[in-house]
Amino acid sequence: MGDYAAVVMRDIAVQDVPDARCWLCGGATGGKGLPVKRAIKDTFTDRDKARRPVSKSVCPGCVFCLSYTSLRNYSILATEDVLRHPTRSEIRDLLLDPPEPPFVFCIAVSGQKWLHFRAQVAYDQDGFPVQFEEMTVCVWRDPLAEWLEVVENLYTVFSKEEIRTGQYIQNRIKQFGLARFQEEEEKITKHRGTRLFDLAVFISQKKEV
């Protein structure tokens, strides 16, 4: 895995709380955190997504994440030792060569949603969950690499939306070359519409031609 800049953030003060489970993520509080009324702002729109709605407490991890808007605005890669905000090109490389597990990977699209509490912890480098905006995607590295190669070949001429939907502009097919287009399209057509394919299109990068 490449060397990416870590994010440095201060710890957030917590207190004793009565609930064993977190209102938001459902994880263990360890008896520490903040009351829901203090940790959850009125502007928080995902109250229906709370995993332990009977709890009145928010765990230290969620308190920390909710205290920094950068953890909503940007993608997140968190390992046991480091927290990073990878760029689109870095996300591509990290999905193909992920860190040693365990890790949590959240890919922000809108930059307007809290993703950390939706995410699952990854324990394997070859098949692992990624939180892609509000959608959980199981990333299998070998298929991702194969599809990404095709997508990036097509992306030299076609737009991402054309590749994602299969609705190509005809004159671009001529520009790309009909035989070459048919060969590449055959490799991905049956995978179109899957979550992993949509992710491959999202992270694809322009090749120099």
Does residue 21 carry a pLDDT above 90? yes
Beta bridge partners of 28: 21
Q: How many CB atoms lie within 10 A of CB 102?
A: 13
Predicted confidence (pLDDT) per residue in 101-142, tens digit: 999 999 999 999 999 999 999 999 999 999 999 999 999 999
46 class by beta-carbon count within 10 Å (0-12 exposed, 13-18 middle, 19+ buried) = middle
Q: Locate tokens 């809290």: which residue?
A: 114
130-142: burial string, b at 16+ Cβ within 10 Å, e else: bbbbeeebebebe
Distance of CA 188 to the CA centre of its chain: 22
| pTM of model > 0.95 | no
Q: Identify the pLDDT of residue 37.
A: 96
Q: Which amino acid is at 86?
A: P
Predicted confidence (pLDDT) per residue in 52-111, tens digit: 999 999 999 999 999 999 999 999 999 999 999 999 999 999 999 999 999 999 999 999
Q: Report d(CA 140, CA 1) in Å as an integer.
A: 17
Q: Identify the pLDDT of residue 101.
A: 97
Average pLDDT along the chain? 94
